[in-house]
Amino acid sequence: MDLLTIGAFAKASRLTPKALRLYDELDLLRPARVDPDTGYRYYAPGQLEQARLVAWLRRLGMPLARIRAVCGLAPAAAAREIRAYWAGVEAETSARRDLAAFLVDQLSAVSGTSGEDTTMLELRYSAHSDPGRVRPANQDTAYAGARLLAVADGYGPAGAPASSAAVRALRFLDTEEVPAGNVLNVLEDAVRGATEAVLDVATDGAEAGTTLTAVLWTGSQLALVHIGDSRAYLLRDGGLFRITHDHTVVQSMIDEGRLTPEEAGSHPQRALLLKALGSGSGTPAPVPDLRLHESRPGDRYLLCSDGLYGVVPEDRVRQFLVSVPDPDTAVRALIDAANDAGGPDNVSCVVADVVRTAAG
Protein backbone atom coordinates (compact mmCIF):
# COMPACT_ATOMS: atom_id res chain seq x y z
CA MET A 1 0.00 0.00 0.00
CA ASP A 2 1.34 3.42 -0.98
CA LEU A 3 1.58 5.74 2.03
CA LEU A 4 1.64 9.52 2.08
CA THR A 5 4.19 11.49 4.02
CA ILE A 6 2.77 13.79 6.70
CA GLY A 7 3.49 16.78 4.45
CA ALA A 8 1.66 15.28 1.47
CA PHE A 9 -1.22 14.13 3.64
CA ALA A 10 -1.47 17.57 5.25
CA LYS A 11 -1.73 19.19 1.83
CA ALA A 12 -4.36 16.71 0.62
CA SER A 13 -6.47 16.98 3.77
CA ARG A 14 -6.00 20.74 4.23
CA LEU A 15 -4.70 20.16 7.74
CA THR A 16 -1.34 21.40 8.96
CA PRO A 17 1.36 18.95 10.05
CA LYS A 18 1.12 20.52 13.52
CA ALA A 19 -2.61 19.73 13.64
CA LEU A 20 -1.98 16.17 12.48
CA ARG A 21 0.55 15.64 15.25
CA LEU A 22 -1.94 16.98 17.81
CA TYR A 23 -4.70 14.71 16.48
CA ASP A 24 -2.34 11.75 16.72
CA GLU A 25 -1.62 12.57 20.38
CA LEU A 26 -5.36 12.88 21.09
CA ASP A 27 -6.18 9.62 19.32
CA LEU A 28 -8.30 11.45 16.76
CA LEU A 29 -6.33 10.47 13.68
CA ARG A 30 -3.56 7.93 14.11
CA PRO A 31 -1.01 7.59 11.27
CA ALA A 32 -0.95 4.32 9.36
CA ARG A 33 2.73 3.92 10.11
CA VAL A 34 5.37 5.60 12.26
CA ASP A 35 9.02 5.08 11.35
CA PRO A 36 10.61 3.42 14.40
CA ASP A 37 13.92 5.18 13.83
CA THR A 38 12.92 8.70 12.86
CA GLY A 39 9.40 8.90 14.33
CA TYR A 40 8.18 10.21 10.97
CA ARG A 41 4.47 9.73 10.35
CA TYR A 42 2.91 8.20 7.23
CA TYR A 43 -0.77 8.11 6.32
CA ALA A 44 -2.90 5.92 4.06
CA PRO A 45 -4.97 7.56 1.30
CA GLY A 46 -8.04 5.93 2.81
CA GLN A 47 -7.62 8.15 5.91
CA LEU A 48 -8.29 11.31 3.93
CA GLU A 49 -12.05 11.10 4.42
CA GLN A 50 -11.72 11.04 8.22
CA ALA A 51 -9.11 13.79 8.11
CA ARG A 52 -11.41 16.01 6.07
CA LEU A 53 -14.27 15.32 8.48
CA VAL A 54 -12.06 16.38 11.39
CA ALA A 55 -11.06 19.53 9.50
CA TRP A 56 -14.68 20.41 8.73
CA LEU A 57 -15.77 19.84 12.32
CA ARG A 58 -12.95 22.04 13.58
CA ARG A 59 -14.11 24.76 11.18
CA LEU A 60 -17.52 24.46 12.83
CA GLY A 61 -15.77 25.12 16.14
CA MET A 62 -16.52 21.68 17.61
CA PRO A 63 -14.27 20.80 20.58
CA LEU A 64 -11.75 18.03 20.02
CA ALA A 65 -13.32 15.74 22.61
CA ARG A 66 -16.66 15.89 20.81
CA ILE A 67 -15.01 15.38 17.40
CA ARG A 68 -13.49 12.17 18.75
CA ALA A 69 -16.96 10.96 19.67
CA VAL A 70 -18.43 11.91 16.27
CA CYS A 71 -15.65 10.13 14.38
CA GLY A 72 -16.46 6.92 16.25
CA LEU A 73 -20.12 6.94 15.17
CA ALA A 74 -21.87 5.48 12.15
CA PRO A 75 -22.77 8.14 9.52
CA ALA A 76 -26.44 8.49 10.57
CA ALA A 77 -25.56 8.80 14.26
CA ALA A 78 -22.74 11.22 13.43
CA ALA A 79 -25.19 13.39 11.49
CA ARG A 80 -27.54 13.49 14.48
CA GLU A 81 -24.68 14.46 16.79
CA ILE A 82 -23.56 17.26 14.44
CA ARG A 83 -27.16 18.51 14.22
CA ALA A 84 -27.42 18.54 18.03
CA TYR A 85 -24.09 20.34 18.34
CA TRP A 86 -25.13 23.03 15.88
CA ALA A 87 -28.42 23.59 17.69
CA GLY A 88 -26.38 24.23 20.82
CA VAL A 89 -24.13 26.66 18.93
CA GLU A 90 -27.14 28.62 17.75
CA ALA A 91 -28.50 28.78 21.29
CA GLU A 92 -25.13 29.94 22.59
CA THR A 93 -24.89 32.51 19.82
CA SER A 94 -28.23 33.91 20.92
CA ALA A 95 -26.94 34.11 24.51
CA ARG A 96 -23.76 35.83 23.30
CA ARG A 97 -25.87 38.29 21.34
CA ASP A 98 -27.63 39.17 24.59
CA LEU A 99 -24.27 39.50 26.33
CA ALA A 100 -22.97 41.78 23.58
CA ALA A 101 -26.06 43.97 23.97
CA PHE A 102 -25.46 44.05 27.72
CA LEU A 103 -21.83 45.11 27.23
CA VAL A 104 -22.82 47.82 24.73
CA ASP A 105 -25.38 49.15 27.20
CA GLN A 106 -22.88 48.98 30.05
CA LEU A 107 -20.12 50.83 28.18
CA SER A 108 -22.60 53.38 26.86
CA ALA A 109 -23.74 53.99 30.43
CA VAL A 110 -20.14 54.50 31.55
CA SER A 111 -19.62 57.16 28.89
CA GLY A 112 -22.83 58.98 29.76
CA THR A 113 -22.93 59.02 33.57
CA SER A 114 -21.09 62.30 34.17
CA GLY A 115 -24.27 64.32 34.54
CA GLU A 116 -26.27 61.76 36.52
CA ASP A 117 -26.96 61.74 40.24
CA THR A 118 -25.34 58.45 41.29
CA THR A 119 -26.18 58.86 44.97
CA MET A 120 -29.74 57.62 44.40
CA LEU A 121 -28.91 53.92 44.21
CA GLU A 122 -28.34 51.39 46.97
CA LEU A 123 -28.14 47.64 47.52
CA ARG A 124 -30.74 45.42 49.14
CA TYR A 125 -29.15 42.12 49.97
CA SER A 126 -29.17 38.78 51.73
CA ALA A 127 -26.56 36.08 52.36
CA HIS A 128 -26.71 32.56 53.69
CA SER A 129 -24.43 29.52 53.86
CA ASP A 130 -25.58 25.94 54.34
CA PRO A 131 -23.57 22.74 54.93
CA GLY A 132 -25.64 20.76 52.44
CA ARG A 133 -26.78 17.17 52.85
CA VAL A 134 -23.47 15.27 52.67
CA ARG A 135 -20.51 17.22 54.07
CA PRO A 136 -19.94 16.90 57.85
CA ALA A 137 -18.86 20.55 58.19
CA ASN A 138 -19.38 23.83 56.37
CA GLN A 139 -16.20 25.30 54.86
CA ASP A 140 -18.03 28.11 53.03
CA THR A 141 -18.45 31.69 54.19
CA ALA A 142 -21.03 34.15 52.81
CA TYR A 143 -21.36 37.82 53.71
CA ALA A 144 -23.52 40.71 52.58
CA GLY A 145 -23.45 44.32 53.74
CA ALA A 146 -24.32 47.77 52.46
CA ARG A 147 -21.04 48.00 50.53
CA LEU A 148 -19.47 44.52 50.52
CA LEU A 149 -20.73 41.18 49.19
CA ALA A 150 -18.55 38.08 49.40
CA VAL A 151 -18.54 34.29 49.04
CA ALA A 152 -15.54 32.09 49.90
CA ASP A 153 -15.24 28.31 49.62
CA GLY A 154 -12.45 26.85 51.75
CA TYR A 155 -10.62 23.58 51.20
CA GLY A 156 -8.24 21.37 53.15
CA PRO A 157 -8.20 20.60 56.88
CA ALA A 158 -8.30 24.31 57.69
CA GLY A 159 -10.75 25.20 54.93
CA ALA A 160 -13.43 26.68 57.21
CA PRO A 161 -11.03 29.04 59.04
CA ALA A 162 -9.47 29.95 55.68
CA SER A 163 -12.74 31.06 54.06
CA SER A 164 -13.77 32.91 57.21
CA ALA A 165 -10.40 34.67 57.46
CA ALA A 166 -10.51 35.77 53.81
CA VAL A 167 -13.94 37.37 54.15
CA ARG A 168 -13.17 38.85 57.57
CA ALA A 169 -10.09 40.57 56.10
CA LEU A 170 -12.34 42.43 53.65
CA ARG A 171 -15.09 43.45 56.05
CA PHE A 172 -13.47 46.79 56.95
CA LEU A 173 -14.45 47.86 53.42
CA ASP A 174 -18.10 47.66 54.44
CA THR A 175 -17.71 50.52 56.91
CA GLU A 176 -15.41 52.84 54.95
CA GLU A 177 -16.44 54.94 51.97
CA VAL A 178 -14.05 54.29 49.10
CA PRO A 179 -13.58 56.87 46.31
CA ALA A 180 -14.86 55.38 43.05
CA GLY A 181 -11.68 56.30 41.20
CA ASN A 182 -9.52 54.33 43.63
CA VAL A 183 -11.75 51.38 44.35
CA LEU A 184 -9.81 48.73 42.41
CA ASN A 185 -6.54 49.64 44.11
CA VAL A 186 -8.20 49.53 47.52
CA LEU A 187 -9.77 46.16 46.76
CA GLU A 188 -6.48 44.75 45.48
CA ASP A 189 -4.71 45.81 48.68
CA ALA A 190 -7.47 44.26 50.77
CA VAL A 191 -7.09 40.95 48.94
CA ARG A 192 -3.39 40.92 49.76
CA GLY A 193 -4.39 41.18 53.40
CA ALA A 194 -6.89 38.36 52.88
CA THR A 195 -4.15 36.17 51.40
CA GLU A 196 -1.96 36.73 54.45
CA ALA A 197 -4.90 36.01 56.75
CA VAL A 198 -5.53 32.68 54.99
CA LEU A 199 -1.88 31.66 55.30
CA ASP A 200 -1.94 32.54 59.00
CA VAL A 201 -4.69 30.02 59.76
CA ALA A 202 -2.65 27.08 58.47
CA THR A 203 -1.12 25.37 61.50
CA ASP A 204 1.28 22.44 61.66
CA GLY A 205 1.56 22.40 57.88
CA ALA A 206 -2.19 21.74 57.41
CA GLU A 207 -3.42 22.70 53.97
CA ALA A 208 -5.52 25.86 54.01
CA GLY A 209 -6.92 27.64 51.02
CA THR A 210 -10.07 29.26 49.73
CA THR A 211 -11.77 30.72 46.73
CA LEU A 212 -12.95 34.31 46.98
CA THR A 213 -15.52 36.19 44.94
CA ALA A 214 -16.43 39.61 46.30
CA VAL A 215 -17.83 42.92 45.10
CA LEU A 216 -17.46 46.37 46.61
CA TRP A 217 -20.30 48.85 45.98
CA THR A 218 -19.41 52.50 45.33
CA GLY A 219 -22.92 53.86 44.81
CA SER A 220 -22.97 53.50 41.03
CA GLN A 221 -20.46 50.75 40.29
CA LEU A 222 -19.45 47.37 41.61
CA ALA A 223 -15.75 46.56 41.87
CA LEU A 224 -15.32 42.80 41.46
CA VAL A 225 -12.48 40.62 42.75
CA HIS A 226 -12.44 36.93 41.91
CA ILE A 227 -10.14 33.96 42.36
CA GLY A 228 -11.05 30.26 42.24
CA ASP A 229 -14.35 28.71 41.19
CA SER A 230 -16.98 30.52 43.19
CA ARG A 231 -19.00 32.65 40.79
CA ALA A 232 -20.77 35.97 40.30
CA TYR A 233 -23.78 36.40 38.02
CA LEU A 234 -25.71 39.44 36.86
CA LEU A 235 -29.45 39.29 36.13
CA ARG A 236 -30.35 42.22 33.88
CA ASP A 237 -33.54 42.64 31.86
CA GLY A 238 -34.36 38.97 32.35
CA GLY A 239 -31.00 37.72 31.04
CA LEU A 240 -28.50 35.95 33.32
CA PHE A 241 -24.83 36.64 32.65
CA ARG A 242 -21.87 35.02 34.40
CA ILE A 243 -19.34 37.80 35.06
CA THR A 244 -16.52 35.64 36.49
CA HIS A 245 -14.30 33.03 34.86
CA ASP A 246 -13.49 29.84 36.77
CA HIS A 247 -9.82 29.27 37.63
CA THR A 248 -10.01 25.48 37.26
CA VAL A 249 -8.34 22.74 35.25
CA VAL A 250 -11.57 21.85 33.44
CA GLN A 251 -12.27 25.50 32.53
CA SER A 252 -8.82 25.74 30.97
CA MET A 253 -9.59 22.56 28.99
CA ILE A 254 -12.89 24.08 27.84
CA ASP A 255 -11.04 27.25 26.78
CA GLU A 256 -8.60 25.12 24.76
CA GLY A 257 -11.40 23.14 23.09
CA ARG A 258 -10.45 19.88 24.75
CA LEU A 259 -13.68 19.60 26.76
CA THR A 260 -17.26 20.71 26.32
CA PRO A 261 -19.10 22.35 29.24
CA GLU A 262 -21.28 19.23 29.41
CA GLU A 263 -18.24 16.95 29.67
CA ALA A 264 -16.69 19.20 32.32
CA GLY A 265 -19.59 18.55 34.68
CA SER A 266 -18.57 14.91 35.11
CA HIS A 267 -14.81 15.26 34.69
CA PRO A 268 -12.81 13.70 37.56
CA GLN A 269 -10.73 16.89 37.92
CA ARG A 270 -13.66 19.33 37.90
CA ALA A 271 -12.87 20.53 41.44
CA LEU A 272 -9.14 21.03 40.84
CA LEU A 273 -8.28 24.73 41.14
CA LEU A 274 -5.56 26.53 39.22
CA LYS A 275 -5.68 29.58 41.49
CA ALA A 276 -6.90 30.21 45.04
CA LEU A 277 -5.95 32.25 48.09
CA GLY A 278 -3.37 30.58 50.31
CA SER A 279 -2.32 28.01 47.71
CA GLY A 280 1.06 27.67 49.36
CA SER A 281 3.29 29.79 51.55
CA GLY A 282 6.38 29.13 49.44
CA THR A 283 4.88 30.19 46.10
CA PRO A 284 4.08 33.65 44.69
CA ALA A 285 0.60 34.87 45.58
CA PRO A 286 -1.77 34.20 42.67
CA VAL A 287 -3.17 37.25 40.90
CA PRO A 288 -6.97 37.61 41.19
CA ASP A 289 -9.26 39.02 38.51
CA LEU A 290 -10.23 42.65 39.18
CA ARG A 291 -12.73 44.72 37.20
CA LEU A 292 -15.47 47.34 37.44
CA HIS A 293 -19.15 46.84 36.56
CA GLU A 294 -21.53 49.71 35.94
CA SER A 295 -24.84 49.10 37.69
CA ARG A 296 -28.40 50.08 36.89
CA PRO A 297 -31.61 50.12 38.91
CA GLY A 298 -33.19 46.69 38.61
CA ASP A 299 -29.91 44.79 38.36
CA ARG A 300 -29.68 41.69 40.54
CA TYR A 301 -26.36 40.09 41.49
CA LEU A 302 -25.80 36.52 42.63
CA LEU A 303 -22.57 35.34 44.27
CA CYS A 304 -22.39 31.61 44.98
CA SER A 305 -20.11 28.69 45.68
CA ASP A 306 -19.93 25.64 43.42
CA GLY A 307 -22.32 23.85 45.76
CA LEU A 308 -25.10 25.74 43.95
CA TYR A 309 -24.18 25.83 40.27
CA GLY A 310 -22.70 22.33 40.40
CA VAL A 311 -26.14 20.79 40.94
CA VAL A 312 -28.71 23.43 39.94
CA PRO A 313 -28.76 24.14 36.17
CA GLU A 314 -28.21 27.74 35.13
CA ASP A 315 -31.63 28.10 33.54
CA ARG A 316 -33.26 27.06 36.84
CA VAL A 317 -31.08 29.52 38.77
CA ARG A 318 -32.30 32.21 36.39
CA GLN A 319 -35.93 31.20 37.00
CA PHE A 320 -35.52 31.62 40.76
CA LEU A 321 -33.81 34.99 40.37
CA VAL A 322 -36.50 36.26 37.98
CA SER A 323 -39.51 34.96 39.90
CA VAL A 324 -38.57 35.60 43.56
CA PRO A 325 -38.49 39.35 44.25
CA ASP A 326 -37.16 39.38 47.82
CA PRO A 327 -33.38 38.76 48.12
CA ASP A 328 -33.68 36.74 51.33
CA THR A 329 -36.41 34.50 49.92
CA ALA A 330 -34.39 34.08 46.71
CA VAL A 331 -31.30 33.00 48.67
CA ARG A 332 -33.30 30.44 50.66
CA ALA A 333 -34.99 29.12 47.52
CA LEU A 334 -31.65 28.63 45.74
CA ILE A 335 -30.13 26.80 48.71
CA ASP A 336 -33.23 24.62 49.03
CA ALA A 337 -32.92 23.76 45.33
CA ALA A 338 -29.31 22.67 45.81
CA ASN A 339 -30.26 20.51 48.79
CA ASP A 340 -33.23 19.04 46.92
CA ALA A 341 -30.75 18.01 44.22
CA GLY A 342 -28.80 16.01 46.81
CA GLY A 343 -26.80 18.78 48.49
CA PRO A 344 -23.45 17.03 47.86
CA ASP A 345 -21.43 20.12 48.85
CA ASN A 346 -21.65 23.17 51.07
CA VAL A 347 -23.73 25.82 49.34
CA SER A 348 -23.52 29.59 49.83
CA CYS A 349 -25.43 32.37 48.12
CA VAL A 350 -25.55 36.15 48.20
CA VAL A 351 -28.31 37.95 46.31
CA ALA A 352 -28.23 41.75 46.03
CA ASP A 353 -30.58 44.10 44.18
CA VAL A 354 -29.66 47.56 42.89
CA VAL A 355 -32.58 49.83 43.82
CA ARG A 356 -33.33 53.51 43.94
CA THR A 357 -33.27 55.09 47.38
CA ALA A 358 -36.39 56.61 48.87
CA ALA A 359 -35.05 60.07 47.95
CA GLY A 360 -34.72 58.93 44.36
Read off the DSSP letter of residue 179. -
Mean pLDDT value of segment 295-303:
94
Higher pLDDT, 287 or 105: 287
What is the predicted pLDDT for the residue at 96?
A: 67
Tell whether the model's pLDDT for residue 108 goes beyond 80: no
What is the pLDDT confidence band of residue 118, given thresholds at 50, 70 and 90? very low
Residue 92, SS3?
Answer: helix
For the chain, the average pLDDT equals: 86
pLDDT of residue 219: 81
pLDDT of residue 174: 92
92 has a pLDDT exceeding 90? no
For 99-132, the three-class secondary structure string (H helix, E strand, C coil) is: HHHHHHHHHHHHHCCCCCCHHHEEEEEEEEEECC
From 123, 159, 121, select the one nearest 141 (Cα to Cα): 159
Residue 98 pLDDT grade (very low, low, confident, very high; cuts 50, 70, 90): low
Among 20-34, 81-95, 165-179, 186-200, which stretch is predicted with the lowest mean pLDDT?
81-95
Strand partners, 146: none
Nearest to 202 by CA among 152, 162, 170, 164: 162
Residue ranges of the domains in the chain? 4-70, 119-356
Residue 360 has pLDDT above 90, yes or no: no
Per-residue CA distances from 94 to 58, 68, 150, 240, 282 (Å): 21, 26, 30, 13, 45
CB 101 within 8 A of CB 340: no
pLDDT value at residue 85: 84
Contact 209, 155 (CB under 8 A): yes
pLDDT reported for residue 203: 65
Top CATH class of 4-70 equals mainly alpha
Region 297-325 average pLDDT? 96
What are φ and ψ of residue 318, in 5° steps? Answer: -60, -40
Q: In CATH, what number does 119-356 get?
A: 3.60.40.10
